[in-house]
Amino acid sequence: MSSQSTDPAIPTTSSARIAAAAALRDLGHAMVEHQVDDEVFVALSRQVAQITAVITQGPDRLHGFFHPDRPVLEDLPMLVSEGRPLPALPDCVISGFANPMGVAASFFRDGDEAICRVELGPAFEGAPDRAHGGIVSAIFDHTMGLATAPTPAFTGWITVSYRAPTPLNTPLEVRARVTERDGRKLSVSAEMTVEGEVLVEGQGLFIMFDIAKVMGAASDAATP
């Protein structure tokens, strides 16, 4: 298998890596949701250990930020046609389809709003049949950050208000938009809905930054 083969839609990773990550996410959900004999888990542990040993012998994976074909935040259009997901770093825990421990959410643009669409499986359960509030907060953080595009901005703080339980195995939608600009400070609001019902609301402050300086600092820190 060539390590250079890439998915046309996500040039920084391969289709095989994305498929493997999806299979591992399915495995995680299955383990949380179902009970089988321990012999199955013993066999699984042995197989996973063997594959892990092979993978860890490979070279370190280049962070998506440093890949020459990475999505460039500064060049993102403010409006993306419906049905065309915003580009994402493949290993991101929220939007990365190549991350086996992520939520594999899809993001879109609708005018001045960033939209997240995601369905959370059993591995993200908190209270019975409800998504853990922490993962919901992380999804809000990511969506609200994308609302500042094409302006790069880091999270200063976010506040999430839970109005109703967030269900599992249900299509969820989060919409976020910038509501105020004050120098480098961007105020952002968002809400999560299911079939029009607001389940969660969020407010946050994001701080604009010079992406070239951040990239340079990260590159220097990564250099031995």
Please write the tens of the pLDDT for every residue from 119-128: 999 999 999 9
Indicate the pLDDT class of residue 25, thresholds 50, 70 and 90.
very high
Q: What global pTM score does this model have?
A: 0.86
Show the domain range for 147: 1-224
Please write the tens of the pLDDT for every residue from 35-80: 999 999 999 999 999 999 999 999 888 777 676 666 555 555 444 5
Please write the tens of the pLDDT for every residue from 78-133: 445 555 677 788 899 999 999 999 999 999 988 889 999 999 999 999 999 999 99
CATH for 183:
3.10.129.10
Using an 8 Å Cβ cutoff, are 110 and 149 in contact? no
What is the Cα–Cα distance from 45 to 27, expressed in whole angstroms?
12
Please write the tens of the pLDDT for every residue from 167-219: 999 999 999 999 999 999 999 999 999 999 999 999 999 999 887 666 655 55
Q: What is the DSSP letter of 8?
A: T
pLDDT of residue 218: 52
Q: Considering its fold, how many domains does the chain have in total? A: 1
- 34 burial (CB, 10 Å; 0-12 / 13-18 / 19+) is exposed
Is cis: bond before 77, omega within 30 of 0? no
